[in-house]
Structure 1
Amino acid sequence: MTAPVTTEHSTTEHGTTEHGSAEGKLVVRVLSALLREDVVGLRTRSTVVERPDGRWLRLPVGAADGAPGDDDALLLPVGDDGYQCELAARLPLLQRESDGARFLTCDAILATLAQLADPTDRAGFDAFAEECRQTLVTVRLHDATRDEAATGLTGRYGSSPAAWTGLAGGLAHDTLAARLDHPVYPTGRGRLGLTDDQLRLYAPEFHPTLALRTLALPRDAVTVQGPDTWLSPSAAGLPELEGTHLALPVHPLTFGAPLMEALRATGLEGRAVLAERAHPEVVPTLSMRTVALTSDPALHLKLPLATATLGLRNRRTIKPGTLVDGAAGQRLIETVIAREPRFRETILHADETRYAHAGHELLAVLCRRYPAGLDNAVVLPMAALLSRAPDGRLLCDHLAERFYGGRTTTLLDAVLTLLFDWQTTLFGYGIALESHQQNISLVLDEHAHRPRLRLLLKDNDGPRINTARMRSALGQQAPDPAEFDDARIFGDSDGPVVDLFTTITVHLCAGAYAFGLARHGRAPLDVLLRLVRDRLGEAVARLGTGPGEPGNVLRRQVLDAARLPVKAMVSAGTLLTKERSGAADINKHYTTGPNYLLPGV
């Protein structure tokens, strides 16, 4: 082990930032993510250095002046973490050993680390630096408009978010969630290429009302699933095209140059008609590209956007094949629920069987219809649970106060019990869903004088399925893989299914809340992690734990595993090309981290 480094020499600071500022917080999140994903060997090539203020990692970088035998190093102060990585970055941030130079901004840190990367990867570091800059602008905008947003929500929906009911009230909960950081991806609030004005006009954190545009295309150019009455040109003010064309709604951010480029690419430029009338009026949901009709909040339109979130390559367009997969995934879930009566009243699903596209990822739309009967229920994405209500309190505390006697951990217990029962049951059928915090909504109301919790699902276009296990469980009801577009969905082993179950259901929908509530002082971390393990263990036990049975697989590979798969989102999404990362799917590219569910960890 290298001896502790002294700081008696002069110090140069590259970039300046206040530690408690928006940029200071972002820098710590970015460094922690790079450490977790072992970017340039930060985790595996470093050695531990003990200093008076705690642990540091020392990463050799070679001689600063190229002289042999005069190796320099980067020093990173770290502390205990445990959520997907043993360690996390801390203040006073990255330093160079030879001269004590400190790198305090994302630009300075990424420029320094890029020099250690393969030359073919350096463009990815530049792209991630831009992502950080965009995110910092957005976070500062959020900070500056916090009171304005809170006043707008309370004026429209009332002072208590636990009384924001129905799918219209759910849009207000989306606004709260949009102002919260992603639990893993450090620049989750950034949207590449959008200005402050565009965010105010179209982003869910500002709860704007906007009007869509309409593009009429010849019928023979459009693939439609389900009835096409919702694509009527007359509703867009083009009655003369009724019968010959179909009218696709277009998001205003896509309406200009991106749309014209798509029309040229498909040979439709001279055959398309752009309606002058802006219609209908909508409100953005948490995903931003999906909007809810103000006249009918149960009807959502998912529209392609020419931007990216959670990584440069995570474009917000809509590949036509994902529409096919979403509808097929919905049918599969409905098949399982029909065989599992206890979920018929507790697992709800949006209908995603109506869609249209013209063979291009910017010429597509999904028409999503939510189930009826939710007007008196509180409907919120899981992603909103740890958000700040207008009065500054956590949203989950408001919900616990109304439904669970003020006991936030009891609310979490109820969520985990149903979530794990449902997701482990799916695993028994060989299925794991990409049902992360944005794709699962909680539905809370009173039923028979008791609190009732249900889960509302959407966006099931990216599952992983063990074909053999699914066919064994469903028999003739098992779908043909040809019903899906993406061949990566199906495999002949449990491995990809376990990876998705762990990274989505365990990490994002359970572990994130244990660590988050502990951070907010709602209960000790060990108590909350024991709750997660106990509820998952109970659900796993219902599957049977004999050799080869699904419960045995989950016990060995999740509950009792030494390490767990962890998404390497920054590497696959921005830093590395697919060729360099080897990621067949940028949202399912993994490294490993500690198993925080092990007893005594």
Structure 2
Amino acid sequence: MTGPTVADPAPSDPVPPGPSANAPDGEQLRRVLDAILREDVLGLRSTAETLHRPDGTWLRLNAPHGTAGWLLPVRPDGFQCEYATRAPVLLAERDGTRLTTTDAVLATLRDLADPRDRSGFDDFAEECRQSARAGRAMADAVPAVRARLAADHGPDPSTWTGPRAGPALDTLAAHLDHPIHPTPRARSGLDETALRRYAPEHHPTFRLRWALLPHDAATLTGTLPDWWPTPTTLGRPDLEHRRLALPVHPLTLDRLPDPAVPTAPAHLDVRPTLSMRTVAVLDHPGVHLKLPLPIATLGMRNRRTIKPGTLVDGAAGQRLLAAVLDHEPRLRDRVLLADEQTHLHAGHELLAVMVRRYPNLPDDTLVLPVAALLARAHDGASVLDRVAERWYGGDRFALLDAYLTLLLDWQTTLFRYGVALESHPQNLSLVLADDRPVRLLLKDNDGPRINRARCPVDHDGFDDPRTYSPDDGPLADLFVTITVHLCAGALAFALSDPERARLLDLVRDRLEAMADPWLRRRILDADRLPIKAMVTAGTLLSKERSGAADINKHYTTGPNYLRRPAETP
């Protein structure tokens, strides 16, 4: 906060009664207020004054245009913002009006915003309503879903090994909130029925639909699996030699761009993974299909369609990482890559598929998404503790040490090659097996940043010109916001002290030992670190107003929780 700190001993009411932070809307509002502070929406954070009152710390938020200010109860935090909301309420300083619902807070902020930006606040309010409805549907379903997972796979998630268990672990991860974004469950345009049928938190099974494309309209790269259906398989033998089958998610079927393209009946049982648009093929569990969806998640502008160039970039990203591993024998057996070289599209963002093939691992191997580490099993035990009990003698810090040491070794090595990845916890998995050290498995390798001048291995083939950077700044921003914040910091701040302090010390020590001097200074010595402004770029502001070239790589700054306290002489 750049405003002054005010010691305000004047009598004041305690935090006024309102919805509990544990109530659905109270939790939603708390997360929204945290995002508003973190991203400095309307300059409210940077102009705030800190008030120390008998009942706790408050921020006086100075509204734009000299209008009356608002008071927000806060507590010290440090993870991407100095403060976090202490209670889900906004209090008008002038007359004591209490805003205790998300709709009321966003309507007030909308009125304070530039008229050009007010529609973004309307969109965000709708996004919050969607996320709240989906959250309520999930809360109702979670006990039964977890019981079904325990019945199908056993009570202990550390035993959910082999590729068939992958979607079950993704479902546990889907029961967690996103560590940063306040509306993680919003999927534009989907009602509760659609969520229950297709969203990963409900662990459904469904069948894909199929479009039958003329061969001259389809672009195939790589080799389709030998079980891929033909027109005859799909009941259209008359089209056997003239058409190619393209899988279509049921939610996308009525949005296809060319109604003249024939479609086929449902075929091939699948189950959603954590990303929802990627599905696991039940009869071929080592294969996933990434399909476009006509929805947006984590921001109204963050559409889940698939542009053909994204498929090209994912394949190029995998080849780039394989080239680095060829030059790094010490990591070659510790970092595994999913095969994403096969894709098919018809030149449209709703007519595309990427075929992901996982490495052939023994059935007793656990492939655990990092996003599932803090999830809960049916009996309430954390996945982290269950896995630590099985492989690390019950020492969960030893497990986190092994994971973070390998992760930071790999990512700092990539940085020395002039490469940074958007490998967030959804796209990064731990691979655990008896008598082997922990390994990493990476997937979805589009969206990197590459300093062409420093990259000594083959890095051609990317379609998106934003991939390349003239210097290391964008690489460092991506390294910090994904690897440091989401893959390490979010885990640390989910723990209680002293575990949190111990884990942050571990991250500091590893970066001091592994990062090159420039990156080390950029992270460990900086006053502030970049953070993703996800709500600002994804929903509140247009690209023209935010200036975001990429809504997933638009940043503001937050406190540096890795900077060591200055030593007292």
Give the equivalent residue in structure 1 for 2:472. Answer: 494
Distance 1:178 1:6 in 2: 45
Distance 1:374 1:183 in 2: 32
Match of 1:296 among 284, 287, 291: 284
Partner SS state of residue 278, structure 1: strand
- How far is the alpha carbon of 1:184 from its aligned partner? 0.7
Distance 1:100 1:310 in 2: 33
Matched residue type, 1:232: T
Partner SS state of residue 426, structure 1: helix
Distance change (3 Å), C-alpha of 1:33 and 1:515: same
Q: State the Cα deviation string for residues 369-414 of structure 1 (Å, max 9, x = none).
A: 1110242111121100011111111110100010101111111000
When the two structures are aligned, how many residues end up with a matched partner?
Answer: 560
Match of 2:499 among 503, 508, 524: 524
1:412 equivalenced with 2:400 (yes/no): yes
Partner SS state of residue 411, structure 1: helix
1:335 equivalenced with 2:323 (yes/no): yes
Q: State the Cα deviation string for residues 39-87 of structure 1 (Å, max 9, x = none).
A: 0111112222222122211123379xxxxxx952111111111111111
Matched residue type, 1:57: L
Distance 2:322 2:185 in 1: 33
Match of 1:592 among 550, 557, 560: 557
Match of 1:244 among 242, 245, 258: 242
1:538 equivalenced with 2:519 (yes/no): no
Give the equivalent residue in structure 1 for 2:172. Answer: 176
Distance change (3 Å), C-alpha of 1:8 and 1:43: closer
- How far is the alpha carbon of 1:3 from its aligned partner? 7.5
Distance change (3 Å), C-alpha of 1:600 and 1:525: farther
1:32 equivalenced with 2:37 (yes/no): no
Give the equivalent residue in structure 1 for 2:442. Answer: 457
Distance 1:389 1:322 in 2: 35
Match of 1:205 among 201, 204, 223: 201
Distance 1:31 1:107 in 2: 12
Match of 2:272 among 276, 284, 289: 284
Give the equivalent residue in structure 2 for 1:67. Answer: none
Match of 1:367 among 355, 358, 361: 355
Distance 2:526 2:72 in 1: 29
Shifted more, 221-230 versus 569-578: the winner is 221-230
Give the equivalent residue in structure 2 for 1:358. Answer: 346
Contact 1:514–1:532 (8 Å) recurs in 2? no
Match of 1:117 among 94, 113, 116: 113
Match of 1:132 among 104, 125, 128: 128
Partner SS state of residue 190, structure 1: coil
Match of 1:568 among 522, 533, 536: 533
Pairing of 1:16-415 with structure 2 (within 5 A): 17-61=19-63, 72-91=68-87, 93-228=89-224, 230=228, 232-256=230-254, 258-259=255-256, 262-263=257-258, 269-270=259-260, 272-275=261-264, 277-415=265-403
Contact 2:420–2:475 (8 Å) recurs in 1? yes
Give the equivalent residue in structure 1 for 2:423. Answer: 435
- How far is the alpha carbon of 1:19 from its aligned partner? 3.2
Compute the RMSD of aligned alpha carbons: 2.0
Partner SS state of residue 446, structure 1: coil
Contact 2:411–2:420 (8 Å) recurs in 1? yes
Distance 1:529 1:193 in 2: 40
Q: State the Cα deviation string for residues 171-224 of structure 1 (Å, max 9, x = none).
A: 111000001001111111222221111111111111111000011011111111
Partner SS state of residue 145, structure 1: helix
Partner SS state of residue 437, structure 1: coil
- How far is the alpha carbon of 1:285 from its aligned partner? 0.6
Distance change (3 Å), C-alpha of 1:12 and 1:44: same
Q: State the Cα deviation string for residues 143-183 of structure 1 (Å, max 9, x = none).
A: 21221011110111111111000111121110000010011
Match of 2:459 among 479, 501, 516: 479
Matched residue type, 1:245: R
- How far is the alpha carbon of 1:237 from its aligned partner? 2.5
Give the equivalent residue in structure 2 for 1:66. Answer: none
Q: State the Cα deviation string for residues 272-318 of structure 1 (Å, max 9, x = none).
A: 1111x211111111101100111011111100111111100111110
- How far is the alpha carbon of 1:92 from its aligned partner? 5.2
Distance 1:285 1:120 in 2: 38
1:424 equivalenced with 2:436 (yes/no): no
- How far is the alpha carbon of 1:244 from its aligned partner? 1.0
Contact 2:48–2:62 (8 Å) recurs in 1? yes
Distance 2:413 2:269 in 1: 40
Partner SS state of residue 235, structure 1: coil
Matched residue type, 2:272: P
1:512 equivalenced with 2:490 (yes/no): yes
Distance 1:8 1:562 in 2: 34
Matched residue type, 2:57: R
Matched-pair identity in %:
57
Distance change (3 Å), C-alpha of 1:61 and 1:467: same
Give the equivalent residue in structure 2 for 1:544. Answer: none
Unaligned runs of 5+ in 2: none
Contact 2:20–2:88 (8 Å) recurs in 1? no
Distance 2:382 2:207 in 1: 32
- Please give the TM-score of this superposition, normalised by the length of structure 2: 0.95
Distance change (3 Å), C-alpha of 1:371 and 1:122: same
